[in-house]
Chains A and B, each alone.
Chain A
Amino acid sequence: MNPDFGRSIKSSIIYILVIISISLLTIPASITNNIKVTVASPLAPVQKIISQTSDFVKNRFKKLASFASNAEMNEELEKEVFLLKNKIVKQQNDINVYKQKLDVVSEFKKNNESDEKPIIADIIGYDVSNFRKSIIIDVGTKQGASVGDIVVFGNTLMGRISAIGRSSGRVILITDPASNVPSRLLESRTQGIVQGTADGTCIMKYVPRQTEINESDKVISSGIGGAFPKSLYIGDVIEVKQKNAKLFKDIKIKPRVAISKIEHVLVIKKQKVENIPR
């Protein structure tokens, strides 16, 4: 073959591939999310099996490692148990008081909210990029989940479903740099926006400089905007910085739950905006 002809074919292939790639960038997110989920769905069962197997192997390794340190820990734990038993007696009294209050709240909730049950989901995959934080769960439209549903672990906010297929869904975590969660500090009630940093921590932005914040203060979701429900635990403050010229403080937050340590999450249905008084 003529070398010039071969070279021109090669360069035209490059141009065509680059043009196709760039045109992919312009496709709306709703369509690309569908493409992603369609491609990922057939792999979901295999991902689930591999995830379960690797989790099992990981747990076995952890157990083996913990045997060595168990003997030293036992003595410390015995002391701790003694102290905790004393605390339990005091707390039982508190629980009785709270129980009465809770009965009143439950009665109110029963009448005002739909009784849709949360969906338990297994984590079957993680994001392949080092700069993005998302997970794949084995829950899709078949189980009743939809885009925008909230994902929690216990009472801790984990993220939000960004794309959904028939039997799997992608969850954008609060530690993703593109995630923004309206939040507030539990003690001072000051509001801000929690943004991910992709290194496992978050940053709370737009907190006024005059606000007094201590390390280990708790951060919860504020519910403003309606994307996330309010009062879900996000994490604890681990670092507060104040630069002279800045209007806002730089607050570093450690999420309550490390995603690598859990295997299941709970999907809460997005609250429907209805019955709004006009």
Chain B
Amino acid sequence: MPWVTIISVILCISLVQTTVLQHISVLGIQPDLFIIFLVFHTLNAKPERSLHTNWSIGLAKDCFTEGLFGLNTVLFVLMGYIISIIKDNIYGRHLATQISVTFIISIIYNFLYLFMFSISFTAAGLLPLALKCPLIATYNSIIVPPVFWLLNRFYTSFGFPSLRRKIR
């Protein structure tokens, strides 16, 4: 059952990200629901389960983007690992923490992605792209409250055991 829930959420996120979010892009930047889901899941689920899920989220993102296949998978496992290290020392249920973690993880992820990208291609405008990283992180942080609320509702409705226990 938890896997069905996770796969359903990943599918929904993939569909929304590839179709609707383009229309709410600001300065050519769209929020990254995959990274927000990664933060949500890692903060709430057991470490073993979050590892598999993060790997699956990364794989899903790789399927819907141009470029090296597997790059997002590696980075998402790494980001999940970073969150699981700091998770015990923070209060992950507070909104301020969730927003801060999303901001920090978005920045690290985007810089690492760009670093890997610069190795693969001699792209002309890497500096402007690097400057976009804080903007992407800010946009992701802004939409954290509604997305976390929706994911919370979805998880509790579809009986995700570990999270239900925590929420109650």
| A interface size (C-beta, 8 A) | 53
Q: Give the shortest distance, in Å, between B47 (CB) and chain A (any CB).
A: 6
The answer to whether B123 and A177 touch across the interface, beta carbons within 8 angstroms, is yes
Neighbour of B64 across the interface among A40, A162, A177, CB < 8 A:
A40
B30: Cβ under 8 A from any A Cβ: yes
Given A13-B48, A35-B69, A162-B66, do A205 and B25 touch, yes or no (CB 8 Å)?
Answer: no
Q: How far is the CA of A172 from the CA of B67 in the complex (A)?
A: 10
- On whether the beta carbons of B63 and A132 are closer than 8 Å, the reply is no
Give the chain B neighbours of A177 by CB distance below 8 A.
Answer: 117, 121, 123-126, 129
If over half of B's interface residues share one DSSP class (helix, strand or loop), that class is named, otherwise mixed; here it is helix
Is the pair A24, B70 in contact by a Cβ cutoff of 8 Å? yes
Q: Which A120-134 residues sit within 8 Å CB-CB of chain B?
A: 124-134
List residues of A (33-73) whose CB comes within 8 Å of B's CBs.
35-36, 39-40, 43, 46-47, 50-51, 54, 58
A102 CB → nearest B CB, Å: 38
B14, A25: Cβ atoms under 8 Å? no
Residues of A within 8 A of B113 (CB): 129, 131
Note all chain A residues with C-beta closer than 8 A to B110: 130-131
Cα A133 to Cα B73 with chains together (Å): 19
Interface string of A181-207 (1 = CB under 8 A from B): 000000000000001111110010100
- Contact mask for chain B residues 34-54; partner A; CB cutoff 8 A; 1 contact, 0 none: 100000000000011001100
The contact string, 1 if C-beta is below 8 Å from chain B, for chain A 223-255, is 000000000000000000000000000000000
The interface residues of chain A lying within 8 Å CB-to-CB of B129 are 131, 177, 197-199
Q: Is the CB of A130 within 8 A of B132?
A: yes
Whether B125 and A25, one on each chain, are in contact in the complex, defined by CB atoms closer than 8 angstroms, is: no
Interface check B55, CB cutoff 8 A? yes
A176 at the interface (CB under 8 A from B): yes
B66:A132 contact, CB within 8 angstroms? yes
CB nearest neighbor in B for A48: B19
| Chain B 132-154 per-residue mask, 1 if CB under 8 angstroms from chain A, else 0 | 10001000000000000000000
Measured CB to CB, the nearest residue on chain A to B78 is A18
Is the beta-carbon distance between B66 and A172 smaller than 8 angstroms? Answer: yes
Q: How far is the CA of A172 from the CA of B66 in the complex (A)?
A: 7
Q: CB of A111 within 8 A of chain B?
A: no
**Distance (Å) between the CB of B86 and the closest chain A CB?**
16
Q: Give complex CA distance A109, B113 in Å.
A: 47
Q: Would A178 and B67 count as touching, CB distance under 8 A?
A: yes
* Whole-angstrom distance between the Cβ of B132 and the nearest chain A Cβ: 7
**A142 contacts which chain B residues (CB < 8 A)?**
none
Which residue from chain B places its CB closest to the CB of A124 in the assembled complex?
A: B19
Given A25-B68, A132-B65, A197-B124, verify A126-B22 contact (CB < 8 Å). yes
Contact indicator per residue, chain A 152-180, by CB within 8 Å of chain B (1) or not (0) = 00000000001000000010100011100
Query: Complex formed: what's the CA distance from A178 to B117 in Å?
Result: 9
Most buried by B among A10, A18, A128, A178: A128
Please name the 6 residue pairs, one residue from A and one from B, whose CB atoms are nearest each other, closest first: A24-B70, A197-B125, A32-B69, A177-B123, A125-B18, A134-B66
Residues on B facing A (Cβ under 8 Å): 11, 14-23, 25, 27-30, 32, 34, 47-48, 51-52, 55, 58, 61-74, 77-78, 81, 110, 113-114, 117, 120-121, 123-126, 128-129, 132, 136
A→B interface (CB under 8 Å):
9-10, 13-14, 17-18, 20-25, 27, 29, 32, 35-36, 39-40, 43, 46-47, 50-51, 54, 58, 124-134, 136, 162, 170, 172, 176-178, 195-200, 203, 205, 260
Q: A36-B62, A131-B132, A172-B66 are in contact. List 18 more A-B contacts (CB 8 A).
A: A24-B62, A24-B73, A25-B70, A35-B63, A36-B63, A36-B69, A47-B15, A126-B18, A126-B21, A126-B22, A129-B65, A129-B72, A130-B32, A130-B136, A131-B114, A176-B66, A198-B129, A199-B128
